[in-house]
Structure 1
Amino acid sequence: MAEDIKTQVVEKVKSSLVFAIQCDESTDVSQCSPLLVYTRFIWKESLEEDMLFCCSLESSTTADDVFKAVSGFFQENDISWEKLIGVCTDGAPAMLGTRSGFVTKVKEKASSVISTHRFIHHRALAAKTLPSKLQKHLNIMIKIVNHIKHSALNTRLFMKLCQDLETDYKTLLFHTNVHWLSKGNMLGRLYELREEVALFLKIEQNEYLATFNSEEVGLSLAYPTDIFEALNVLNRQLQGKNTTMIAHSDAIRTFIGKLQLWKRRIQNTSSFPRLNEILNKKSFRDSLKTKIEDHLQGLENEFQRYFPNIGERSFVFYLARNPFSLEVDDIPEDLQEQFLELKFNSVAKDDFTSLGMEKFWKKYLSVYQKISQRILQVIVPFSSTYPCEAGFSALVGIKTKKRNKLDVASDLRCTLSQTPPNIPRLVAQKSQYHPSH
């Protein structure tokens, strides 16, 4: 079945006008390094994405090893490099090195390919901008949570305390740096159970009790909880399948705009509900306001640094979403004549309304080639490695300690692929050794 699915996916990729790939590697329970490659292509007037292949990197995981694996698969299955228009990676030096990185080697085969690296990875880096004082208080909160969660006895005692007090939640959430949403969810639960945590520390006579009960730490808990919750919302917007650079760019630009808005109206804390709740009982000190302003400015600077060209393709985004709302002066000179032909094509306008963005540009690709080619460059390429990350999560359940010698390529394809196996074709290929009489 896995081989049949692979054959179908390869046939779709080869028949597509253009396609894009994303790749990522990880380390499994048996210390192997599986390389997972996904592809997005045009199939029957719509965009589809599916697992292209999975293989194990036998020795190192350098750019050469990754490129050899991808190039070997392309050569084995007669996939043309000329149709490749986008490659998405995790942003590691081995992938993006200007001299010998994977992307550099790909561009030697397909010079017009567009390189993107995952938006989620950048968001995680941009979030690490807390001022030293807030960071110090955050570290204390993490130590308190992990102190309770690390011990099985403390976990049970805290749960019993919450049950006796009839709280909505019974446990805290463990914090790990590996999980993207961990810090925001952990802080949210700690804020909800802050009185119970203080009581538990008092019963235990813990050294962090006085610090945790201080007004400064209380305010420092409320603000990070709010801001990390906002970052979590952004994170979830950047996840999922069948997402495009257009949607992800809109989400990033929206969040940057919110940061600028929050800075302008810093005195109005309604945008931060938990901080606003505490400030109804306490005064908003200038020192805390300055820290929040500094953090918001630092966040904005980081997002601007990691996404310097976030609006670079804005006219292409607008053109893709609604070409009939733009004026000819908004379009580059080399596309203006073809744009006018499209703009005043009433049949095309009706088709855009009825077909939707992806099917419309697929239909008119041969009619308005120059414009459609520019549109495909922002619709087809991946903007994150989410499918690969989801694939590695599935790998954890497939390759366990008890099955650590398993070759997971076929199992992973059957698990992850959106293409069902062609059962009638598979049955027809089998001989009937025991015919009925």
Structure 2
Amino acid sequence: MSAKKRKYQDEYIKFGFVALQKGDAEVPQCVICYKTLSNDAMRPTRLERHLRTTHPELADKSQAFFVAKREALKRAKLDSSGTFRQQTSKIVEASYEIALLVAKNKKSHTIGETLIKPSLLRAAELILGKDSANKLSAISLSNDTIKGRIDEMSQDIKEQVTDQIRASPVFAIQCDETRDVAQCSQLLMYARFILGDSVKEEMLFCHPLETYTTAADVFEVVSKVLRRKSTFMGRVASKTLPAEMRDFLNLAIKVVNFIKGGALNSRLFKQLCKDLDCDHQALLFHTNERWLSKGNMLGRVYELREEVATFLDVQRKADLYKMFQSRECQLSLAYLIDIFEALNGINQKLQGKHINIITQYDAIRAFMAKLDLWKCRMEAGNIACFPNLDSAVPAGLLDSKLKNQIIDHLTELKAEFIRYFPDLDEKRKTWKFIRNPFQCDVADVSDKVQEEFLELKFNSSAEDDFEILDLETFWVKYLPVYPLISLQAVRILTMFGSTYLCEAAFSALVAVKTKYRSKLNVEGDLCCALSGTRPRIPDLIAKKQCQPSH
């Protein structure tokens, strides 16, 4: 005798269930997870239990909510099992997600077909069985597919960022240009703008400059999208050196080139350091483009100075050995290491993400004050501020010639800073209200914002917010309340003080465009790799007809 067939009642929709015909019986289907239950479960208690145990966050939803879900279900195509024909859309979504991971990790597009897909299929077959592996085999990860997905996602990211910039009351850009492995000039641009209650930094584009790289060419490219160059410390550090110190710097470079310039010398020096149980077994090269490496190079030479001298002696490089071992050279190198280390420190404070120009100016003013302090100490014979030099000079007795050279160098260094930043004091007064409007006088702001400034200054709630929020967040928050004075502040806080973001992106460019991928158009890959904005993958899927891999 066959079991009694239960019938669906319209009131069951309040539990989130509709009826689905399966053979000669109706079965309940959940409009949330699309799961089908048995005909015997077609009773209020069983349906309500499914809702409260599987979807507890929806248990108190009104009947209208589930009716809307039912209508959406009716518009979808169902197969005989009652599941959506969304298999292909999920497959395409997986293809997009994997393509995004390929771009984020700066890998070749062929890795999807040659490594990722075979790994997925093998793992699925071993763990889940052949049926699951067959489902995953439909994911398209060919070279052309990965490239196409990356380009589509990068275009979507660019559109999002462009819309955000247009909606921002103020924005700033930084541009820089470099040559890739194919000798193609690439112009990279970042933007800083207001999004929500904070200041956001995003890569905007990477565009090849086909012919010239003049300012006019750069402006033309930038203007098509949206209708200052890097820090200067490297040039300053070397430019202001006295002639004799510069000679000793060049000597150190010459020694490094001799030891590392040939494979045999490199191996012999490494073995020597290994036999002497040194912490390091190799010297470091430096490049003019990455001037910070010059300080690192000097530090390694000085650390291994005894091993370097021994190697030069063994190799019978009498001229280099004699100059390198001289007291003047050793003391000059000690000072150069100390001053380059100080310059490295100030440079690192000026670089990085989410650093505003006020913070950078404060760091520069502090360093210039240190230069004055070091000069005064040096004139008094106190060299404690230069630890390497201090440890190299016996009993604190510094040669007067070297002392005068150091004083001259510090004087020239300060002069160069003043030449590059002539308006430090003026900017400090102009930006005083931005740093702390509650410790600023009304005379410190322009006439047109003075009344608004007073309202802000005596707003106790704003003063409490200032104590807990960073500068950018504070001024962005009060932009709708005090638009005139806040706009002046955010215009300054959105400015870029260096091209650090572009320079960091150039390192990613080197990883993406190699000699094996020299013809690659890198904009899409760089955009996906470096952007913090997530592409709208569901929207991209909705725009196309899903076609699985064959």
TM-score calculated relative to the size of structure 2:
0.69
Give 1:231's match in structure 2, choosing from 311, 322, 343.
343
Q: Tell me the distance in 2 between the aligned counterparts of 1:347 and 1:306.
A: 40
> Any conservation in 1 of the 2:472–2:490 contact (CA below 8 Å)?
no
Q: Tell me the distance in 2 between the aligned counterparts of 1:403 and 1:214.
A: 49
Q: Does 1:160 align with 2:271?
A: yes
Give 2:433's match in structure 1, choosing from 319, 328, 353.
319
The letter for the 1-side match of 2:502 is: C
2:418 alignment partner in structure 1: 304
- Tell me the CA shift for residue 53 of structure 1: 1.4
2:207 alignment partner in structure 1: 55
> Any conservation in 2 of the 1:176–1:182 contact (CA below 8 Å)?
yes
Mark the runs of 5 or more structure 2 residues left unpaired by the alignment: 1-152
Any idea what SS the aligned residue of 2:371 has?
helix
Q: Tell me the distance in 2 between the aligned counterparts of 1:239 and 1:325.
A: 28
Q: Tell me the distance in 2 between the aligned counterparts of 1:172 and 1:432.
A: 56
Q: Does 1:341 align with 2:452?
A: no
From the superposition, tell whether residues 144 and 335 of structure 1 become closer, same or farther in structure 2 (CA, over 3 Å). same
Q: Tell me the distance in 2 between the aligned counterparts of 1:432 and 1:197.
A: 65
From the superposition, tell whether residues 356 and 214 of structure 1 become closer, same or farther in structure 2 (CA, over 3 Å). closer
The letter for the 1-side match of 2:256 is: V
The letter for the 1-side match of 2:180 is: D
Give 1:136's match in structure 2, choosing from 244, 247, 255.
247
Q: Does 1:124 align with 2:124?
A: no
Pair member with larger Rg: 2
Q: Tell me the distance in 1 between the aligned counterparts of 2:484 and 2:161.
A: 28
- Tell me the CA shift for residue 384 of structure 1: 0.7
1:114 alignment partner in structure 2: none
1:173 alignment partner in structure 2: 284
The letter for the 2-side match of 1:146 is: N
> Any conservation in 2 of the 1:315–1:331 contact (CA below 8 Å)?
no
1:214 alignment partner in structure 2: 326
Q: Tell me the distance in 2 between the aligned counterparts of 1:310 and 1:186.
A: 32
Q: Does 1:13 align with 2:165?
A: yes
Any idea what SS the aligned residue of 1:240 has?
coil
Q: Does 1:367 align with 2:481?
A: yes
The letter for the 2-side match of 1:125 is: R
The letter for the 2-side match of 1:127 is: A
1:68 alignment partner in structure 2: 220
From the superposition, tell whether residues 432 and 201 of structure 1 become closer, same or farther in structure 2 (CA, over 3 Å). closer
Identity rate of aligned residues, in percent? 52
2:306 alignment partner in structure 1: 195
- Tell me the CA shift for residue 281 of structure 1: 5.4
- Tell me the CA shift for residue 433 of structure 1: 4.9
Q: Tell me the distance in 2 between the aligned counterparts of 1:347 and 1:334.
A: 23
> Any conservation in 2 of the 1:146–1:175 contact (CA below 8 Å)?
no
Aligned-residue CA RMSD (Å) = 1.6
Q: Tell me the distance in 2 between the aligned counterparts of 1:29 and 1:147.
A: 27
- Tell me the CA shift for residue 350 of structure 1: 1.8
Report Cα offsets for 1:204-246 as digits up to 9, x if no partner: 1112111111111111111111101111111111211111101
Any idea what SS the aligned residue of 2:496 has?
coil
TM-score calculated relative to the size of structure 1:
0.86
> Any conservation in 1 of the 2:430–2:444 contact (CA below 8 Å)?
no
Q: Tell me the distance in 1 between the aligned counterparts of 2:188 and 2:471.
A: 29
- Tell me the CA shift for residue 263 of structure 1: 0.4
Mark the runs of 5 or more structure 1 residues left unpaired by the alignment: 76-88, 91-117
1:182 alignment partner in structure 2: 293
> Any conservation in 1 of the 2:449–2:485 contact (CA below 8 Å)?
yes
Report Cα offsets for 1:117-160 as digits up to 9, x if no partner: x4x1x222221210011111111111111110111111111111
> Any conservation in 2 of the 1:45–1:363 contact (CA below 8 Å)?
yes
> Any conservation in 2 of the 1:28–1:396 contact (CA below 8 Å)?
yes
Runs of 4+ in structure 1 deviating by more than 6 angstroms, as ranges, are: none
Question: Higher relative contact order by CA 8 Å / sep ≥ 6: 1 or 2?
Answer: 1
Give 1:390's match in structure 2, choosing from 504, 511, 533.
504
